[in-house]
Amino acid sequence: MPVMTMIEAIRDAHAVVMERDGSVVVFGEDVGHFGGVFRCTKGLQERFGPDRCFDTPITEAGIVGVAVGMAANGMRPCVEIQFADYMYPAYDQIVSEAARLRYRSAGDFTAPLTVRMPVGGGIYGGQTHSQSPEALFTHVAGLTTVIPSNPYDAKGLLIAAIESDDPVVFLEPKRLYNGPFDGHHDRPAVPWSSHELGEVPDGHYTVPLGQAVVRRPGTDVTVVTYGTMVHVALAAASEVGVDAEVIDLRTLVPLDLEAVIGSVEKTGRCVVAHEATLTSGYGAELAALVQEHAFYSLEAPVERVAGHDTPYPHAHEWVYFPGPERVGQALRRAMEA
Amino acid sequence: METTAADARVGDDAARPLSLAIPGPPRWTRSPSDLGTLAFSAAGEVRRPPVDEPPRRMWDLATALVRVTDDDGNAVGPWAPDLDAAVLRQGLRHMMLTRELDRRLLMDQRHGRTSFYMQSTGEEAVACGFAVALGKGDMNFPTYRQQGLLVAAGYPLTSMMGQVYSNELDPLHGRQMPVFYSARDHGFFSISGNLATQFVQAVGWAMASALQGGTSIAVGWIGDGATAESDFHAALVMASTYRAPVVLNIVNNQWAISTHESVARGGAATFAERGHGFGIPALRVDGNDFLAVCSAASWATERARRDLGPTLIEWVTYRAAAHSTSDDPSGYRPKDEPSQWPLGDPVDRLARHLVATGSWSARQQEALQQEVEQVVADAQAEAAAYGTLQSGQRPSARFMFEDVFARMPVHLRRQRQQAGF
């Protein structure tokens, strides 16, 4: 089976869908000729022509606005916002338009589009190249929000996203583009070629939207997480020596609630972890759902591990980042309570 | 079945498939010889209207190119500024200091002493020349490529370097990426990484100056690519509606990372012409001609100071270096394009002018080069003594939790304590 980085897997997903479906078009800033600043669309313009993959002016509102119009008119645009931090000018088009078009027109018009954007810190990107704004999307009715943690899922989820009849926000943890980063920033980088989920099948397959997966079965405590933090949680569990069950949500909305609740009912303890800021983060929703649906199974309060409630700082990004040590502390607290 | 009005109107044309003009690679992987076909006016050719000329009578200035310094270094035509040679020599020094600062800090990034850097090489005249027209209290809303404004305003090089190193000298406590400076006392608004947001804020700052009975003006800066953002258009409509005392600068350095400037303007109108729909007078100026920059900046700032309203200026220049240390231009433009840029190098051109007018010599130029290298090297030694991002002597992480709010809320204080600071 071919071994791919997450970048190559995303590129391959584009190619597979573009080959099968002529209505799929790909565009964004530096996306066409250059192939994207992270090279996720490299070679697509060459292969499919400039009508299928092209560069846009620097206008995120324009990119998503045009995608909504195209999607309503029979196409399946998959567009790139260069960094999630640049998404805000497009937010109105995502929230007020794409998310609600089906509802407000009673299905007369729909917006089957995918908006890809790199998220997360750890590249010294400061406050404008590091954000994790998933909660700004999960809070919006009508949006599907996806975040893969490995190349295999990235390809399967992106194909499913593009083929979805609803708008999908596809968040790509940029620290995972080249390897399964576990939060130990001072250690040598590990490539995807050394990880089983770096093996990516050729051709078409999907990872269904709305389906979580257990990355590590365990009996002591459930860790509910996604994206980069999946790898951080796995590292923390092994370092602390706790038999944690680590759940990779993969899709945030619609949520695979059964997977979460089933696990918490088994372990009786729960830690929720994400890189985004704590307050009103997606972890708050998860914690609320766990207490709502598994209250009588809980033997300890639900712990949340998250980024601090500050903008992402440049020099102190590793103080901000909820690394294995902070997740480990939360595991211990959950076990000792 | 009834025939609708639409059926009758489109007739046979409806059978013809439509097509789009999608900019493809041939539009911008040009050979250097193609650069010669860009429309440039000759030095001295363009008229200089009085500052209070009605906007509609100045539309020609948005397609012409205001140039002053000719190939022999002479200042010619109505835009030739009446500036003391000492001012020009100082401008030359500022440009050379900026270039040397960029060279040193780029090397620092290459050696791992910081995470990131952005040079302004080739476009130093735009910032350093515009600064000549500004006074105490005026506020720039820059992009990340106007470090020349800080150098010209006398901002300490050690503060800039401290910011780039994220060390204890960093006035921003390590919070911001390198080059995202903030220096209120030096007329330099805090840099955002998000494009174009500052352009409309400049209009607001200028409006506040007028509303509060002030006399200072604001200057907005934006790149060619970012003019595609909605905030650019918002800036023009607000400036036009309220006739704000603001100068709105578009630095057209030909490249938005890998995307050629023609993509943002549809290859049609000039960026300066964007002003016309809003009734804003617009100039297109040779941004590598220090004298033309000073002259146009003085004309536009005078309009703002005399309550004649906003001016839009397109500075035609060239980004000689990569977009940033994260970029490699060899993937999208010919290697020799920078050296082929027909408007030349701003430092060389101003030096030639000074020599041509008898107020400079090759020997003085050489001495100045040595002096700026020494000044930057000394500043670097001083700044690096406080550590670099690599050496890990960072400002206390306590600062990370401050300034989120004016007063730190309880939840943040708790997070800071839990983090151990």
DSSP letters of A220-233?
Answer: SEEEEE-THHHHHH
| B389 CB neighbour count, 10 Å cutoff | 23
Q: Which of A150, A146, A157, A79 is nearest to A116 (CA)?
A: A79
Question: Nearest CA of chain B to the CA of A51: how many Å?
Answer: 7
In this complex, do B174 and A313 lie within 8 Å of one another by their Cβ atoms? yes
| Together in a domain, A116 and A147 | yes
Whether residue A65 lies inside any domain: the answer is yes
| Together in a domain, A184 and A225 | no
Dist CA B51 CA A122 (whole Å):
51
Q: Which two tokens stand for residue A244?
A: 């944690």
| Together in a domain, A218 and A111 | no
Q: Which two tokens stand for residue B392?
A: 């890990």
Dist CA A202 CA A3 (whole Å):
10
| Together in a domain, A96 and A221 | no
Geometric angle at alpha carbon B241, from B193 and B235, rounded to 5°: 10
In this complex, do B193 and A128 lie within 8 Å of one another by their Cβ atoms? yes
C-alpha neighbours within 13 Å on the C-beta side of residue B125: 33
- Do the beta carbons of residue B140 and residue B188 sit within 8 Å? yes
Residues B253-312: tens digit of each pLDDT: 999 999 989 889 887 799 999 999 999 999 999 999 999 999 999 999 999 999 999 999
Predicted-complex ipTM score:
0.91
| Together in a domain, A180 and A32 | yes
Measured in degrees and rounded to the nearest 5, phi and psi for residue B141 equal: -115, 85
Residues A29-55: tens digit of each pLDDT: 999 999 999 999 999 999 999 999 999
Residue A124 zone, left/alpha/beta (φ > 0; ψ -120 to 50; rest): left
| Together in a domain, A22 and A156 | yes
| Together in a domain, A188 and A241 | no
Task: State mean pLDDT over A83-105.
Answer: 98
| Partner residue opposite A34 with nearest CB, options B178, B331, B394 | B331
| B406 CB neighbour count, 10 Å cutoff | 5
DSSP one-letter code for B414:
H
In this complex, do A29 and B115 lie within 8 Å of one another by their Cβ atoms? no
Whether residue A1 lies inside any domain: the answer is no
- Containing H/E element for B299? helix B290-305
| Together in a domain, A170 and A38 | yes
Residues 6+ apart with CB under 8 A from B46: B61, B64, B65, B66, B67, B77, B78, B79
In the listed set A198, A227, A247, which residue is the last one of a domain according to the structure?
Answer: A198
DSSP one-letter code for A3:
B
Report the mean per-residue pLDDT for chain A: 97
| Together in a domain, A100 and A248 | no
- A80 and chain B: CB distance < 8 Å anywhere? no
- Do the beta carbons of residue A216 and residue A167 sit within 8 Å? no
Q: Which two tokens stand for residue B388?
A: 């670099």
Say what the pLDDT of residue B340 is.
Answer: 86
**In chain A, which residues have their Cβ closer than 8 Å to the Cβ of B28?**
33
Dist CA B300 CA B283 (whole Å):
9
| Partner residue opposite B259 with nearest CB, options A45, A50, A55 | A55
Q: Please tell me whether residue B36 adopts helix, strand or coil conformation.
A: helix
Query: Hey, what amino acid is at A48?
Result: F
Task: State mean pLDDT over A246-274.
Answer: 98
Whether residue A108 lies inside any domain: the answer is yes
In this complex, do A314 and B411 lie within 8 Å of one another by their Cβ atoms? no
Residues A296-328: tens digit of each pLDDT: 999 999 999 999 999 999 999 999 999 999 999
C-alpha neighbours within 13 Å on the C-beta side of residue A77: 22
In this complex, do B258 and A34 lie within 8 Å of one another by their Cβ atoms? yes
Q: Please tell me whether residue B175 adopts helix, strand or coil conformation.
A: coil
**In chain B, which residues have their Cβ closer than 8 Å to the Cβ of A55?**
23, 258-259, 263
Note down pLDDT in tens along chain B; length 421 residues: 455 555 555 555 668 999 998 886 544 445 544 555 566 899 999 999 999 999 999 999 999 999 999 999 999 999 999 999 999 999 999 999 999 999 999 999 999 999 999 999 999 999 999 999 999 999 999 999 999 999 999 999 999 999 999 999 999 999 999 999 999 999 999 999 899 999 999 999 999 999 999 999 999 999 999 999 999 999 999 999 999 999 999 999 999 999 989 889 887 799 999 999 999 999 999 999 999 999 999 999 999 999 999 999 999 999 999 999 999 999 888 888 888 899 999 999 999 999 999 999 999 999 999 999 999 999 999 999 999 998 878 899 999 999 999 999 999 999 999 999 9
Q: Which of A5, A227, A29 is nearest to B196 (CA)?
A: A29
C-alpha distances in angstroms, B256 versus A232, B14, B312, B328? 36, 38, 20, 13
* Dihedral (CA of A34, A40, A44, A45) sign: negative
In this complex, do A129 and B193 lie within 8 Å of one another by their Cβ atoms? yes
| Together in a domain, A163 and A15 | yes
> B55-321+337-390, which class in CATH?
alpha beta
Dist CA B237 CA B64 (whole Å):
24
DSSP one-letter code for B336:
T
Task: Check which CATH number belongs to the domain holding A130 and give it.
Answer: 3.40.50.970
Residues 6+ apart with CB under 8 A from B186: B149, B150, B153, B154, B155
Residues B328-345: tens digit of each pLDDT: 999 888 888 888 899 999
Say what the pLDDT of residue B268 is.
Answer: 78
Q: Where would I find the H helices in A59-192?
A: 60-72, 91-92, 101-104, 134-138, 151-163
Task: Provide DSSP, A176-228.
Answer: GSSS---S-TTSPPPPGGGSGGGB--SS-----TT--EEEE--SSEEEEE-TH
Whether residue A221 lies inside any domain: the answer is yes
- Identify the residue among A29, A31, A33 best suited for mutation to test binding to B, counting B beta carbons within 10 A and taking the highest: A33
Reply yes or no: is the peptide bond before residue A254 cis, omega within 30 of 0: yes
Question: Nearest CA of chain A to the CA of B416: how many Å?
Answer: 8
Q: Based on the structure, what is the number of domains in chain A?
A: 2
Say what the pLDDT of residue A8 is.
Answer: 98
Q: Which of A187, A204, A193, A118 is nearest to A151 (CA)?
A: A193
Question: Whole domain around residue A221: which residue ranges?
Answer: 213-336
In the listed set A198, A221, A245, which residue is the last one of a domain according to the structure?
Answer: A198
| Edge-to-edge order in the sheet of strand A24-28 | A53-55, A24-28, A76-80, A114-119, A168-173, A144-146, A251-253
User: Which amino acids of A are annotated catalytic?
Assistant: 129
Dist CA A128 CA B196 (whole Å):
13
Q: Please tell me whether residue A125 adopts helix, strand or coil conformation.
A: coil
Q: What's the burial of A229, exposed, middle or buried (CB within 10 Å: 0-12/13-18/19+)?
A: buried
- Containing H/E element for B197? helix B197-211
How many A-B residue pairs are in contact by the CB < 8 A criterion? 132
Say what the pLDDT of residue B105 is.
Answer: 98
Task: Tell me the residues of chain B between 313 and 352 that have a Cβ less than 8 Å away from chain A.
Answer: 326-327, 331-332
Question: Nearest CA of chain B to the CA of A231: how many Å?
Answer: 22
In the listed set A138, A170, A198, which residue is the last one of a domain according to the structure?
Answer: A198
| Together in a domain, A144 and A218 | no
C-alpha distances in angstroms, B95 versus B122, B345, B349? 10, 11, 12
- The beta strands (E) that lie in A265-329 are given as 270-277, 303-307
Q: Which of B241, B291, B265 is nearest to B92 (CA)?
A: B291
Dist CA B93 CA B371 (whole Å):
9
| Together in a domain, A31 and A125 | yes
Question: Nearest CA of chain A to the CA of B352: how many Å?
Answer: 37
Say what the pLDDT of residue B27 is.
Answer: 45
